[in-house]
Structures are given as C-alpha cells and as structure tokens.
C-alpha cells in the first residue's frame, strides 16, 4: 500500500509540473542553465516537449504503483522503466535541439 501511495503522489507531482511547463509555459520550473540558449520563438515548442516528457514520466510512476498494487508483483516497474527512459530521451533530444547542448 505504501508503494502505491508513494508512487501515485510522486507521479501526480511530476504530471502537475509537466502540465505547468507545457500548458502555462512556465519555463522557470526548469533549471535556468537548461534554457539559457533557447530563443524566444522556440520557447513554446521547448516547453511543450519538456512538459510532455515530464508527464510521461509521471504517468509511468502512477502505472507502476497501480499495477504493482493490483497484481502483487513488481511487473509495474516495466512501465516505470519504459516511461522514464522515453521521457528522458525526449528531454535530451529537446535540449539538444533548442538549447544547443545538455547544459
């Protein structure tokens, strides 16, 4: 039960932060050195992709807790791995495209 509550809360937090970055274009929720070279015209697609990547990670955490709770196994961690790696790849490619590097 602890795993479910913990992962759902962390997943909801990640999803909320991702939504704020994407929909509200709150680029300041990302560390400043990650967006220092992002030009103003690219701010919208940059925040959209970074926010969606964060939401993907959050959904993976929620799925992990839910599947593990329902099945009493650790198969949910497959969702965590797939969603976390997918979100991370999206973030890396977005950083490289719009910021010219990871830092």
Give per-residue pLDDT as tens, 49-101: 999 999 999 999 999 999 999 998 889 899 999 999 999 999 999 999 998 87
Q: What's the CA gap between 48 and 28, in Å, rounded?
A: 13
Q: How many domains does the chain have?
A: 1
Does residue 14 surpass a pLDDT of 80? yes
Question: Structure pTM?
Answer: 0.90
pLDDT band at 7; cut points 50, 70, 90: very high
User: Which residue range is the domain that position 87 belongs to?
Assistant: 2-99
Band the pLDDT of 39: cuts 50, 70, 90: confident
Task: Give residue 34's pLDDT.
Answer: 77
């Amino acid at each position: 039960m602890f795993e479910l509550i913990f992962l759902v809360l962390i997943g909801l937090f990640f999803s909320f932060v991702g939504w704020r970055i994407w929909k509200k274009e709150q680029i300041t929720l990302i560390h400043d050195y990650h967006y220092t070279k992002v030009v103003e015209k690219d701010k919208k697609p940059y925040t959209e992709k970074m926010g969606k990547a964060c939401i993907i990670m959050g959904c993976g955490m929620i799925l992990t807790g839910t599947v593990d709770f329902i099945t009493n196994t650790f198969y949910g961690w497959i969702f965590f791995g797939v969603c976390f790696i997918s979100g991370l790849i999206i973030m890396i490619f977005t950083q490289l495209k719009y910021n010219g590097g990871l830092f």
